Amino acid sequence: MRKLLQEISVIPGVTGSCIFDKKEGPLCKLLQHEFGEEDLETVGIHLVRLVQMGAMAGLDIHTSHFRFDRYTLIGIPLDQETILVTICDAQANCSLVSTTASMLARDMRSDLERGQASESDQTTEEDETFLHLLYDEIEQALAAAMGPVAALVMGDCLDRWRQAGPAIPGRVSELISMLEGEIGNPDLARAFTERVEKLL
């Protein structure tokens, strides 16, 4: 399921996507850190309710678009209680995003029916090994930007990153964004990001 979300994430203007279930909350997500868990819960539940209200009125909602000041949200129902939420820049091309997401939604529905919605959120042993090697490389890049306090900052950000979701390779960009925000000098922050992005 995560691979399907990654296909959406490469569309220009997309900043994240999530499969949201009314009862279980986010089943699988790929989000940038700016859009928080609480925001996702609020948006997800309202989009599911919108689909359910449409069904009560005999309307079969295929896609919903909402443009806000900072984001554009696109919701595509996967069933009566589950929705694909895509978060985009405010001026994103909604037509392109919704067309691509709609095509991928068919595969997501199949995965949901087979009960595979969240299995890709689990970390494999291979992922854990990769992540530990990556953490070391990221910390070295952070030390080049911040000096000896890098280990403390890295530990703190890792804790917050793990609390926000599963520690999986698909979420490493969130960790990098968190660490970049801790670097006070914009030039050093940019150099850190450029160095770390080469590792991914």
Residue 187 structural domain: 125-197
- State whether 95 and 147 are in the same domain: no
Written as one letter, the residue type at 11 is I
Secondary structure class of 23 (helix, strand, coil): coil
Place of tokens 């392109």: 96
* Structure tokens belonging to residue 191: 């150099």
Contact 108, 19 (CB under 8 A): yes
- State whether 21 and 97 are in the same domain: yes
- Domain C-terminal end among 87, 106, 121: 121
Domain containing residue 102: CATH number: 3.30.450.30
Residue range 6-35, pLDDT digits in tens? 788 888 888 888 888 888 888 777 776 567
pTM of the model: 0.55
Residue range 99-145, pLDDT digits in tens? 888 888 888 877 777 665 444 445 556 667 778 788 888 999 999 99
